[in-house]
Amino acid sequence: MKQATQAVHTGVYIDQSYNSVTTPIYPSSTYYFDKLGSHKGYDYSRTANPTRSALAKNLAALENGTHAQITATGMAAVTACMMLFKPGDHIIVGQDVYGGTYRLINDVFQSMGYVISFVDMRDINQVKDQIRPTTRALWIETPSNPLLNLVDIAQLTQLGKAHQLISIVDNTFLSPYFQQPLELGADIVVHSTTKYINGHSDVVGGTVITRDAEIGKQLAFIVNATGIACSPFDAFLVLRGVKTLPLRMEAHQKNAMALAEFLEGHKKVKQVYYPGLPTHPQHALAQKQMRGFGGMLSFDADLDHVDLDTLFAKLALFHLAESLGGVESLIEQPWSMSHASMSEEARIKAGITPATVRIAVGIEDTQDLIVDLKQALD
Ligand SMILES: *Cc1c(COP(=O)(O)O)cnc(C)c1O
């Protein structure tokens, strides 16, 4: 089955009582046994829940994986992955990963004794130079946030395999519709389903997907032991949202491409970051490993001629907000908002300045978005 079919059908039909075409929400915390040692697959909802299992099947299929855990947030998914390792283990992490991931790894896991190297993964030699006997994993995020830098997943996972490292890819920015890291050699894929997978800005959630049975078993153990699985109500919402993922991603991308081209030609814009532009330094890599360029773009405003507060106030269709992946367009300044949890030094090292503006392009009419952005910039 193709993804558009999987998104609509996989895992969905679990109601044998009434043949409901949507997945029922099972809020029950516990399930009774038929007799000692015998139940219908569920005993307690922290461990497993039918609504959550339906979503897990669906998302695993979309990533061509076999095992998925559904977590309460994207950060819970990242946490589950990090708990595969222990103090003393060394993990190599991309220098411009999502701000919350950076904070969790840098401030929580590092202080627990994990050894972390943040490197620019665009340069494979920087990664190679960091590999040591205690290295256990590569943490990859591509495209990166907010500057849409890419790293070559196939090249990195190949390097990882040669050194028995677990390669983990945060695929939130593209969704499985535009990029399938397991196909490129990754061992684990992570998503904040809060973003494109749910797509309607009405739930926070996450998932961790693998096709390695042993890793899948460990992740199930961690999610149950730590109690970070999502509620059945949230699983229901994400399962409803994901059915339109392919349609929405096409619409996000069409709008993002048009806005990127418009911004590139605007005199108050210094630089546009969008992997779909031929001027993106890694456009060739984008065409190689991605099936689409996604709905996120950033640009550097010319602060001599643009006051960001005025720009944001004049926009009617782009709301000043963090997050991304919903149907509505959002705009923000990573410096003071999404990436404020990084130190100033780390932000500058990653190329983020006060002039950087990030847009999460929604699925509104293309022309309406361009007209709005044009009047605000002008
Ligand atoms: C939002 C996000 C996360 C964290 O997800 P939450 O659902 O907010 O906990 C992780 N990675 C990326 C790339 C994200 O955009």
Q: Domains along the chain?
A: 3-242 (3.40.640.10), 246-377 (3.90.1150.10)
Q: Determine which of 100-104, 119-123, 254-258, 341-345 has the lowest per-residue pLDDT on average.
A: 341-345
178 with 288: CB under 8 angstroms? no
Confidence (pLDDT) at 145: 87
> Could you tell me the strand order of the sheet in which 67-71 lies?
67-71, 206-210, 188-192, 166-170, 135-141, 90-94, 115-119
| Predicted TM-score (pTM) of this structure | 0.96
Confidence (pLDDT) at 341: 78
Q: Which of 52, 57, 96, 98 is catalytic?
A: 98
Confidence (pLDDT) at 370: 98
Q: Which of 152, 177, 147 is nearest to 167 (CA)?
A: 152
Residue nearest to atom 2 of ligand 1 (CA): 192
When the pLDDT of each residue in the chain is averaged and rounded to a whole number, the result is 97
186 with 155: CB under 8 angstroms? no
Mutate to test the pocket of ligand 1, among 189, 194, 207 (most ligand atoms within 8 A of CB): 194
Q: Which of 170, 187, 234, 300 is catalytic?
A: 170
Confidence (pLDDT) at 222: 98
CA of 7 to the centre of ligand 1 (A): 21
Mutate to test the pocket of ligand 1, among 79, 145, 195 (most ligand atoms within 8 A of CB): 195
- Ligand 1, residue 97: give the atom nearest the CA: 13
CA of 133 to the centre of ligand 1 (A): 30
- Ligand 1, residue 206: give the atom nearest the CA: 7
Residue nearest to atom 6 of ligand 1 (CA): 74
CA of 30 to the centre of ligand 1 (A): 30
In degrees rounded to 5, what are phi and psi of residue 176? -65, -15
Q: Which of 46, 103, 270, 291 is catalytic?
A: 46
Q: What is the 3 state secondary structure string of the chain?
A: CCHHHHHHHCCCCCCCCCCCCCCCCCCCCECCCCECCECCCCCECCCCCHHHHHHHHHHHHHCCCCEEEEECCHHHHHHHHHCCCCCCCEEEEECCCCHHHHHHHHHHHCCCCCEEEEECCCCHHHHHHHCCCCEEEEEEECCCCCCCCCCCHHHHHHHHHHCCCEEEEECCCCHHHHCCHHHHCCCEEEEECCCCCCCCCCCCCEEEEECCHHHHHHHHHHHHHHCCECCHHHHHHHHHHHCCHHHHHHHHHHHHHHHHHHHHCCCCEEEEECCCCCCCCCHHHHHHHCCCCCCEEEEEECCCCCCHHHHHHHCCCCEECCCCCCCCCEEECCCCCCCCCCCHHHHHHCCCCCCEEEEECCCCCHHHHHHHHHHHHC
Q: Is the pLDDT of residue 277 over 90?
A: yes
Q: What is the pLDDT of residues 289-325, one digit of tens each?
A: 999 999 999 999 999 999 999 999 999 999 999 999 9
Mutate to test the pocket of ligand 1, among 93, 98, 174, 228 (most ligand atoms within 8 A of CB): 98
Q: Average of pLDDT values for 124-138? A: 98
Q: What is the pLDDT of residues 317-339, one digit of tens each?
A: 999 999 999 999 999 999 999 88
In degrees rounded to 5, what are phi and psi of residue 35? -160, 175
* Spatial distance between the Cα atoms of 87 and 115, rounded to a whole number of angstroms: 7
* Spatial distance between the Cα atoms of 96 and 126, rounded to a whole number of angstroms: 14
CA of 80 to the centre of ligand 1 (A): 14
Pocket (CB within 6 angstroms of ligand 1): 73-75, 98, 100-101, 141, 145, 170, 172-173, 192, 194-195, 204, 206
- Ligand 1, residue 193: give the atom nearest the CA: 7
Confidence (pLDDT) at 349: 82
Both tokens assigned to 117: 């190297």
Angle formed by the axes of helices 74-82 and 213-226, to 10°? 120
- Ligand 1, residue 324: give the atom nearest the CA: 15
Both tokens assigned to 140: 């990859």
122 catalytic? Reply is no
195 catalytic? Reply is yes
46 catalytic? Reply is yes
| Max Cα-Cα span within the chain | 74
**pLDDT > 90: percent of the chain:** 94
Q: What is the pLDDT of residues 335-354, one digit of tens each?
A: 999 888 788 998 888 789 99
Q: Average of pLDDT values for 181-208? A: 98
Confidence (pLDDT) at 346: 81
* Spatial distance between the Cα atoms of 117 and 138, rounded to a whole number of angstroms: 10
Q: What is the pLDDT of residues 71-118, one digit of tens each?
A: 999 999 999 999 999 999 999 999 888 889 999 999 999 999 999 999
Mutate to test the pocket of ligand 1, among 139, 147, 172, 228 (most ligand atoms within 8 A of CB): 172
